[in-house]
């Protein structure tokens, strides 16, 4: 029997809308939703079928036997697994209270369900991966506009110039966005790319600036200086909507473009030419604030400086600039009913101190890594159970061994995931989720100029004894006696619950996989944006009231990043278009394309160390090391070495990925609590490593 299902890809976190063709319960074709992506799909998206067929994923609930991480599992039924978890939780609640339970996910469009679950249990401790990802960007945006990073979209297609500071937009891939970039370039637009190494994005850029690692903020300050000195900024916009401009003018005085050029190790002409282009192109220019920006000690301030440039160019709510992401309310419609909103908020303060000790951070998910401190000290109160849903802290946060030592203070670790994650392998119970083609998810609104409600329909029946997350959380909630907080038994009941205020029906998704909430792009009146900025002053705050209240500067004086000691290199990391973090490395078809990572090292430095292209090299940080092959290139800054994130997996059940390549997280020893107190992000590029030619290289041939 043939059928078509509308779904959302889940091979990475972008969740591109897809159309899935099915015959006799097998997927025959996946393509990008024709109405949105005209069929386009990336390599990961097509490899979804290989994930479905992959037997190297958990196939039924598993309870740990033997020590944590030992890899001995007892297959159990869902009932047994849920009873086991419920027993443990009840014990924890009795001893420490419900607040001792926490849950973390990977953000995205579906957290309403996860928040509802943890709040139904009575704990305020919902968190996600983002302090090792985009928190600096989010908090920078909040501090400037009072709006988060997802409250704006970038109208790249209609812009004249896209400026990217390490945002590798053509490899950390969002299909629709990548096509906007290429359309803009085809139409004669400009793209400036700033990074410490060449990438595919840099290849397509009209201007590529290779800076010394950690000096993005210097270049940004130089650009701001250039615009202000030339009085090239949108005076009317600033007059109307911005506070703190005078302080900025005073602050920026020493940071000339020439100073910036010296600091970044580039030619002054490159900076001045760049400034001239910015002036020509404003306001149709987008300075992208970054995505994964848990990198340098001043990344938060760099992201703020990017936003200040956007503001100076007056690109807010401008075609070709940044546009407010519109929701149902902006279209005169009612949004989806939230599960979480029906549940009384637990009254305990969050254990990570976000909202109490740290008032300038977004309380929503708080900051995951701070919970490690809580688990270690038991202050302000103990955390004894951790659920990770589709989140692998041991892969995405630094120093997994340090994390494991702290996790040992927990009485219960549960992984809910399609894959074996590094966390799952160390946990007590693995609850295997059905892979995305085998499950439905809750409905979600995709905000934007033309917002829509999206559906993930089940394309095929699960191959193994797995369940969708909506069912898993319901099962656990039932066992804990709070099942009524998740008021559904079937996915249709859940969807109908969500759709109730909207007036739409489940059938309304059948035609194209989504419901448009507007007939076309919704734009606010740019001359009347009062009330749109959610800062304490209601204005765009160059001097953030919240940062000032927290005793933090809004305009941080520049500090030059440390240079590596002799023989050491700054370890930087990134991505390619064929893999998404760690969880796709073991996919048979993606592994075939990219089986292990290598270490990029500058030719000059490699020569000094006697390293040739393709040699095995040992990368040594304090307390950890790894051996991988060298890629010797001229196109990386000599102070840095680079590797692709996600490799070096330590899960024997993933036979392909096991031990292939090196994990950058493992080398990032000592960085687990190295947080930017202003931005909340971790400083993952603040690790210096030693590199040497490995003894693994053959010196002579012994055998015939």
Partner 1 sequence: MKKYTLHLNSKRCIGCHACEVHCKTNKKLPVGPILCEISHPPLKAAKGFPMTEFQFRSCYHCEDPSCVPVCPTGAMKKREDGIVYVDQEKCIGCLACISACPWSVPQFNPATGKVVKCDYCMDRVDSGLKPACVSKCTTYALKFVELKEI
Interface with partner 1 (CB under 8 A): 29-32, 38-43, 45-47, 49-50, 170-171, 173, 175, 178-179, 182, 185-186, 198, 200, 202-204, 208, 577-578, 588-593, 633-635
Q: φ and ψ at 458, to 5 degrees? A: -75, 125
Cβ neighbour number for residue 382 with a 10 Å cutoff: 20
Q: Do 317 and 526 meet the contact criterion of CB atoms below 8 Å apart?
A: yes
CB-wise, 19 or 64, nearer to partner 1?
19
Nearest in space to 689 (alpha carbons), one of 638, 641, 648, 631: 641
Q: Shortest distance, CB of residue 431 to partner 1, whole angstroms?
A: 28
CA 561 vs CA 31, 247, 248, 551: distances in Å: 45, 25, 22, 23
Give the integer Cα–Cα distance in Å for 182 and 178.
6
Q: Shortest distance, CB of residue 559 to partner 1, whole angstroms?
A: 29
Q: Do 612 and 601 meet the contact criterion of CB atoms below 8 Å apart?
A: no
The H-or-E segment that residue 307 falls in is: helix 299-312
Q: Shortest distance, CB of residue 581 to partner 1, whole angstroms?
A: 16
CB-wise, 46 or 625, nearer to partner 1?
46
Give the integer Cα–Cα distance in Å for 446 and 456.
13
Q: Shortest distance, CB of residue 47 to partner 1, whole angstroms?
A: 5
Q: Shortest distance, CB of residue 74 to partner 1, whole angstroms?
A: 31
Q: Shortest distance, CB of residue 578 to partner 1, whole angstroms?
A: 6
Give the integer Cα–Cα distance in Å for 532 and 322.
14
Beta bridge partners of 65: 72
CB-wise, 63 or 182, nearer to partner 1?
182
CB-wise, 264 or 671, nearer to partner 1?
264
Q: Shortest distance, CB of residue 20 to partner 1, whole angstroms?
A: 12
Q: Do 48 and 28 meet the contact criterion of CB atoms below 8 Å apart?
A: no
CB-wise, 514 or 594, nearer to partner 1?
594
CB-wise, 20 or 339, nearer to partner 1?
20
Secondary structure of residue 436 in the 3-state scheme = helix
CB-wise, 17 or 366, nearer to partner 1?
17
Q: Do 18 and 35 meet the contact criterion of CB atoms below 8 Å apart?
A: no
Query: What is the distance, to the nearest Å, from the Cα of residue 60 to the centroid of all Cα atoms in its chain?
Result: 28
Q: Do 451 and 67 meet the contact criterion of CB atoms below 8 Å apart?
A: no
CB-wise, 238 or 577, nearer to partner 1?
577
Q: Do 19 and 457 meet the contact criterion of CB atoms below 8 Å apart?
A: no
Give the angle subtended at the CA of 701 by the CAs of 697 and 704, to the nearest 5°: 145
CB-wise, 38 or 359, nearer to partner 1?
38
- Looking at residue 27, the DSSP 8-state letter turns out to be E
Q: Shortest distance, CB of residue 210 to partner 1, whole angstroms?
A: 9
CB-wise, 46 or 256, nearer to partner 1?
46
Residue 198, classified by CB atoms within 10 Å of its CB into exposed (0-12), middle (13-18) or buried (19+), is middle
What is the strand order of the sheet 285-288 is part of?
Answer: 207-210, 190-195, 161-165, 285-288
Q: Shortest distance, CB of residue 161 to partner 1, whole angstroms?
A: 18
Q: Shortest distance, CB of residue 592 to partner 1, whole angstroms?
A: 5
């Amino acid at each position: 029997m043939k059928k078509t299902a509308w779904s959302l890809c889940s091979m990475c976190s972008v969740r591109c809308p897809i159309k899935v063709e099915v015959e006799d319960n097998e997927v025959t074709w996946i393509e990008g939703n024709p109405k949105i992506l005209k069929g386009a799909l990336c390599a990961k998206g097509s490899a979804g079928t290989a994930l479905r067929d992959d037997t190297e994923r958990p196939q039924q609930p598993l309870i740990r036997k033997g020590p944590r991480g030992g890899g001995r599992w007892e297959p159990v039924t869902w009932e047994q697994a849920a009873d086991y978890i419920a027993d443990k939780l009840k014990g924890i609640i009795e001893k420490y209270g419900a607040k001792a339970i926490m849950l973390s996910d990977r953000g995205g469009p579906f957290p309403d369900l996860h928040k509802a679950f943890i709040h139904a249990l009575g704990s305020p401790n919902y968190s996600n991966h983002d302090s090792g990802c985009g928190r600096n960007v989010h908090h920078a945006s909040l501090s400037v506009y009072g709006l988060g990073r997802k409250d704006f979209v970038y109208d790249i297609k209609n812009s004249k110039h896209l400026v990217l500071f390490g945002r590798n937009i053509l490899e950390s891939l969002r299909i629709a966005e990548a096509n906007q970039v290429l359309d803009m370039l085809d139409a004669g637009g400009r793209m400036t790319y700033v990074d410490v190494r060449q990438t595919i994005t840099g290849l397509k850029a009209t201007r590529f600036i290779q800076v010394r690692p950690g000096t993005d903020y210097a270049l940004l300050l130089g650009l701001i200086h250039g615009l202000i000195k030339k009085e090239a900024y949108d005076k009317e916009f600033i007059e109307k909507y911005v506070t703190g401009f005078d302080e900025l003018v005073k602050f920026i005085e020493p940071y000339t473009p020439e100073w910036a050029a010296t600091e970044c190790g580039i030619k002054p002409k490159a900076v001045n030419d760049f400034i001239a282009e910015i002036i020509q192109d404003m306001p149709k220019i987008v300075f992208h604030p970054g995505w994964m920006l848990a990198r340098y000690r001043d990344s938060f301030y760099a992201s703020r400086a990017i936003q200040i440039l956007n503001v100076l160019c007056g690109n807010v709510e401008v075609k070709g600039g940044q546009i407010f992401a519109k929701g149902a309310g902006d279209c005169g419609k009612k949004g989806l009913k939230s599960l979480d909103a029906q549940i009384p908020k637990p009254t305990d303060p969050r254990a990570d101190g976000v909202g109490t000790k740290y008032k300038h951070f977004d309380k929503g998910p708080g900051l995951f890594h701070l919970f490690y401190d809580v688990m270690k000290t038991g202050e302000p109160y103990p955390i004894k159970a951790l659920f990770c849903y589709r989140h692998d802290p041991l892969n995405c946060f630094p120093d997994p061994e340090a994390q494991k030592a702290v996790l040992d203070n927990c009485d219960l670790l549960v992984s809910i995931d399609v894959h074996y994650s590094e966390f799952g392998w160390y946990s007590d119970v693995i609850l295997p989720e059905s892979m995305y083609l085998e499950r439905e998810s809750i409905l979600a609104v995709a905000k934007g100029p033309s917002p829509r409600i999206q559906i993930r329909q089940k394309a095929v029946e699960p191959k193994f004894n797995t369940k969708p997350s909506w069912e898993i959380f319901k099962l656990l909630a039932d066992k804990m006696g709070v099942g009524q907080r998740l008021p559904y038994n079937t996915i249709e009941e859940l969807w109908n619950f969500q759709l109730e205020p909207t007036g739409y029906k489940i059938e309304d998704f059948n035609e194209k996989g989504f419901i448009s909430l507007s007939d076309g792009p919704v734009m606010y009146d740019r001359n009347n944006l009062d009330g749109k900025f959610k800062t304490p002053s209601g204005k765009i705050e160059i001097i953030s009231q919240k940062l000032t209240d927290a005793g933090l500067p809004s305009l941080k004086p520049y500090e030059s990043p440390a240079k590596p000691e002799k023989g050491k290199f700054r370890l930087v990391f990134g991505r390619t278009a064929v893999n998404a973090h760690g969880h796709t490395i073991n996919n048979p078809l993606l592994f075939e394309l990219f089986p292990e990572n290598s270490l990029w090292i500058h030719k000059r430095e490699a020569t000094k160390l006697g390293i040739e292209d393709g040699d095995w090299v040992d990368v040594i940080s304090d307390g950890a090391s790894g051996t991988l092959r060298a890629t010797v290139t001229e196109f990386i800054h000599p102070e840095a070495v680079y590797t692709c994130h996600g490799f070096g997996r330590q899960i024997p059940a993933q036979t392909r990925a096991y031990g292939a390549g090196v994990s950058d997280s493992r080398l990032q020893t000592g960085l687990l609590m190295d947080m930017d107190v202003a931005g909340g992000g971790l400083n993952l590029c603040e690790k210096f490593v030693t590199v040497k030619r490995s003894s693994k290289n053959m010196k002579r041939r012994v055998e015939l």
